[in-house]
Structure 1
Amino acid sequence: MDDILASNNKLLKIHDSFTKKSEKSINSLIKSATEYKSKMKNNGAEPNDLHDSEKELKQSVKNTLAELKEIQKDLYTNVSKLGKQVDKIGKVNLDICDENGLLEEFHDQIDVEIALHLLRSGRFDLAEVFIEESSAQLSDMVVEQFKMLFRIVSEINNNNLGLAFKWVEDNKERFEDGGMFLEFQLFKQEYLTLIQNNKVFDAYSYGKKNFTKFLNYKPKKIKNEMDYDGFKCEEDCKKATSTGYEQTKLGYLDEIRRLMGVIVYAKRLDSSPYKHYFMPSAKQILADLFTKSFCVLFGLPAEPPLTITMNAGLVALPNISKVATLKLKQQSVTNQQDLKKRKQMSDAWYNHNELSAEINLADSLCFHSVFACPVSKEQATETNPPMMMPCGHVICKESLEKLSKSNRGTSPAGKFKCPYCPQHFMEAEAKRVYF
């Protein structure tokens, strides 16, 4: 996928360059043709001058065409390269990944994720049709909440923060920090908008009135858990709602100092040390913050699960399909036997604890910790989980059982020695570790 994005970005740059150079060359050619036409209309023009001008115009046309053809050739080469890279993704054999309908049991869950993705994207008409025609079970309250979110985002992009302030006030009890972080970002945006509109005195008064309460802010205690219309928001979800909160609660004072310093440069914001506050992306960052906070607040991941799944699949499935296809080609069996082998390979997706190929995913696509036993060097699984001994050292269950078995009859009370310290324990004293 990274190669496709790189090729696409390169193609866009070449296209922009082609457009600019084409316009420049054609405009220059039009200018030459106009000048030649003016000379032809001028009865006092010398025949030799007209002949020279005509010769120059013909040469300009020839040079322009040659230049445009060369640029166009480079453009088509990169279009072809991008097309081939996209075709490679399309050739992935997905049937081998779901030979026996292994994903059928997740059909309802997939429908729900598709519906939520459409809602998160603001495609409400399409989402409502999909919910009606699929097995997705979403309440009207969820749909209305997403519509409210997009009204807020639209208002933020139009510099109207009233609806956003009201939403934070209505939901402040649901936030770990009482909505202080989001509220501060809204005050900050309103303050900067006043300065940008040359209302410096109003901005100073506004900042003095609204930033004061953040100087001595103390975190609030929160409830143990919260349910909202079918979405359960656990402790870790609520902590995520205060994005940047741990840093911000200590940095409100420094940030307020910087914001007040902007006033000094009110007449030359573009060349000030604070010009980043007024970049076009500032409002979009605030809108994205609201979107992520909204989703996590109601028990939804900050990033769309469907997007994460698609990104991981684009990386993983080509490699897995390639390995599986090579294995099938190496098997010289009859058609009936081949079908049996394909079934066994499909079942292996659930029966085995490892994939048929190593998949290198980006950190943003990895969500599970991996534990490797220091004794056996094997990766922990559900049937061979990590076990912690009273001394604090952790090994896998199978290694623990082997150590216990090898010391039976030689050690009093069936105890065995920890492989990393001199202490002795019984197998029953070890506890399973969950990462």
Structure 2
Amino acid sequence: MELNSIKDAFDRVTNNKRLSASKSEEIIEQVGLEIEQALIRLQSVNDASPTNHRFVLTELKTKLKDIAPLTHLESTQKELNIALSKYLKILEKSFIPDISKAYRNVDCDIHTVNQIIASHFYRGGLFDIGDCFIDESMEPEAAASKSPFLEMYPILEAMRSQNLQPALSWAAANHEKLEQSGSDIEMKLHRQHFVEILQNRGRDEALDYARTVFPPFGAKYMSEIQKLMACLLWAGKLDSSPYSDLLSPVHWDKLGEELTREFCNLIGQSYESPLSVTIAAGVQGLPTLLKLANVMTMKRQEWQSMKQLPVPVDLDREFQFHSIFVCPVSRDQATDENPPMLLSCGHVLCKQSITKLSKNNSARPFKCPYCPSEIEAGQCRQLYI
């Protein structure tokens, strides 16, 4: 709803600006036309007496007064200023510039935070900035996260130049680990290299390469290899073949992303920066936190001391890394001691909530908090998430 009102206000500003500009151009053009006509009349007057000139100028003055350019320009500009002023007020009302009120005093290990920040720089290839941060924060142990990415980035740089040799060497050196994790990155690298050889060096070299590298992959990727062998029939004209999609630049981008993912997986790191994910999740949950902070303005001490938020903060699935259940009655997160329980009506509550509702009597029926059904605690079944 707020976004709609902002958009409507913005559209009004845009329309008024367009109208103001159009009106200004029209008036300026009209004034210019009258002046041009007056100049023509002055030049065509046979009698160059001051009286005739004065008459032409007086007539021009009268016409310009009738046009009233300043009056028209001021009115359109006034409407534009009013619309712009209202738009700014709506923005100020909708967006809270001070987000510090949502801040809570949370104990954290500053050394761990510094290591996360340094790792974020190294992960992004900003090695000089990472080194500078480590020096200024005096966290020399954080430099340990640098060396793996020093190995990864030259491989990615070579791939951007369509040089797969460093990537193939890395995949061969980590063949067993990649195989254990179920990765097919090595086969994809060989496939891309085969296509490049076929496209740039010809059928014979591509066939020799296939005979050298594909046999170990035959059992698992036979259909893929057969497709690549069929490409040999289209040497020199692969772009017009049924397999032209293999030449798409998209394959290079996807291969780079997949190699990064597999590389991070082997070194025990997440594909995305933990710092980036944390900030993105915080931005998404910030509106809820700000509203809660505003509600609890008079209870600032309670806001700072509470161990659990009284309302859930909904985040997108990309920020959900494990399945959890929060009881809709008690707002407690499920644990091994307090597991989620499925009621006979289909709703789910935590075990402790069911115990309280049934007054610790498994045969005593109680009403489901979310529907009219009568439930017996003894009929509830534990859910495993």
Asked if TM exceeds 0.5, the reply is yes
Choose which of 97, 101, 123 in structure 2 pairs with 1:96. Answer: 101
Give the structure 1 partner of residue 45 of structure 2.
Answer: none
Shift of 1:364: 1.4
Contact 2:158–2:164 at 8 Å: present in 1 too? yes
| Cα distance change on mapping 1:215 and 1:92 into 2, 3 Å | farther
* Whole-angstrom CA distance in 2 between matches of 1:215 and 1:404: 64
Contact 1:198–1:266 at 8 Å: present in 2 too? no
Shift of 1:286: 1.5
Shift of 1:404: 8.0
Q: Secondary structure at the match of 1:273?
A: coil
* Whole-angstrom CA distance in 1 between matches of 2:384 and 2:138: 34
Give the structure 2 partner of residue 368 of structure 1.
Answer: 322
Q: Does 2:338 align with 1:385? A: yes
| Cα distance change on mapping 1:380 and 1:212 into 2, 3 Å | farther
Moved >6 Å (runs of 4+): 83-90
* Whole-angstrom CA distance in 1 between matches of 2:92 and 2:222: 54
* Consecutive unaligned residues in structure 2, runs of 5 or more: 8-87, 365-375
Contact 2:178–2:184 at 8 Å: present in 1 too? no
Aligned pairs for 1:44-59 (under 5 A) are: none
* TM-score calculated relative to the size of structure 1: 0.55
Shift of 1:397: 2.8
| Cα distance change on mapping 1:289 and 1:85 into 2, 3 Å | farther
Q: Secondary structure at the match of 2:242?
A: coil
Q: Secondary structure at the match of 2:180?
A: coil
Contact 2:102–2:293 at 8 Å: present in 1 too? no
Shift of 1:198: 4.5
Choose which of 342, 365, 386 in structure 1 pairs with 2:300. Answer: 342
Shift of 1:317: 0.6
Choose which of 304, 310, 316 in structure 1 pairs with 2:285. Answer: 316
Q: Does 2:258 align with 1:289? A: yes
Q: What is the letter of the counterpart of residue 174 of structure 1?
A: K
Give the structure 2 partner of residue 397 of structure 1.
Answer: 351
Shift of 1:183: 1.8
Give the structure 1 partner of residue 180 of structure 2.
Answer: 177
Q: Over residues 127-182 of structure 1, what are the superposed CA-to-partner deviations in whole Å (9 max), with x where a residue is unaligned?
A: 11112222656454531221110011112222332322222233334335378622
Q: Secondary structure at the match of 1:105?
A: coil
Q: What is the letter of the counterpart of residue 362 of structure 1?
A: D
Give the structure 2 partner of residue 418 of structure 1.
Answer: 378
Shift of 1:190: 1.0
* Whole-angstrom CA distance in 2 between matches of 1:322 and 1:178: 44
Query: What is the number of equivalent residue pairs in this alignment?
Result: 285
Q: Does 2:167 align with 1:164? A: yes
* Whole-angstrom CA distance in 2 between matches of 1:366 and 1:190: 37
* Consecutive unaligned residues in structure 1, runs of 5 or more: 8-82, 218-251, 329-337, 410-415, 422-429
* Whole-angstrom CA distance in 2 between matches of 1:354 and 1:368: 20
Q: Does 2:76 align with 1:109? A: no
Q: What is the letter of the counterpart of residue 386 of structure 1?
A: P
* Whole-angstrom CA distance in 2 between matches of 1:86 and 1:294: 44
* Whole-angstrom CA distance in 2 between matches of 1:162 and 1:85: 57
Q: What is the letter of the counterpart of residue 284 of structure 1?
A: D
Give the structure 2 partner of residue 129 of structure 1.
Answer: 132
Shift of 1:386: 0.8
Contact 2:183–2:262 at 8 Å: present in 1 too? no
Give the structure 2 partner of residue 200 of structure 1.
Answer: 203
* Whole-angstrom CA distance in 2 between matches of 1:273 and 1:179: 29
Contact 1:172–1:178 at 8 Å: present in 2 too? no
| Cα distance change on mapping 1:255 and 1:145 into 2, 3 Å | same
Aligned pairs for 1:41-80 (under 5 A) are: none
Give the structure 2 partner of residue 278 of structure 1.
Answer: 247
Contact 1:191–1:206 at 8 Å: present in 2 too? yes
Give the structure 2 partner of residue 331 of structure 1.
Answer: none
Q: What is the letter of the counterpart of residue 320 of structure 1?
A: L
Q: Over residues 188-222 of structure 1, what are the superposed CA-to-partner deviations in whole Å (9 max), with x where a residue is unaligned?
A: 121011122151221122123311211224xxxxx
Q: Secondary structure at the match of 1:267?
A: coil
| Cα distance change on mapping 1:318 and 1:352 into 2, 3 Å | closer
Choose which of 309, 314, 329 in structure 2 pairs with 1:352. Answer: 309
| Cα distance change on mapping 1:142 and 1:177 into 2, 3 Å | same
* Whole-angstrom CA distance in 2 between matches of 1:86 and 1:262: 58
* Whole-angstrom CA distance in 2 between matches of 1:386 and 1:175: 37
Contact 1:353–1:381 at 8 Å: present in 2 too? no
Identity %: 28
Shift of 1:313: 1.9
Q: What is the letter of the counterpart of residue 381 of structure 1?
A: Q
Q: What is the letter of the counterpart of residue 195 of structure 1?
A: L
Contact 1:114–1:306 at 8 Å: present in 2 too? yes
Per chain length, whose mean CA-contact separation is higher, i.e. which structure has more relative contact order (CA < 8 Å, sep 6+)?
A: 1
Aligned pairs for 1:139-150 (under 5 A) are: 140-150=143-153
Choose which of 159, 182, 188 in structure 1 pairs with 2:191. Answer: 188
Q: Over residues 42-65 of structure 1, what are the superposed CA-to-partner deviations in whole Å (9 max), with x where a residue is unaligned?
A: xxxxxxxxxxxxxxxxxxxxxxxx
| Cα distance change on mapping 1:262 and 1:88 into 2, 3 Å | farther
Contact 1:168–1:179 at 8 Å: present in 2 too? no
Q: What is the letter of the counterpart of residue 108 of structure 2?
A: E
* Whole-angstrom CA distance in 2 between matches of 1:268 and 1:310: 48
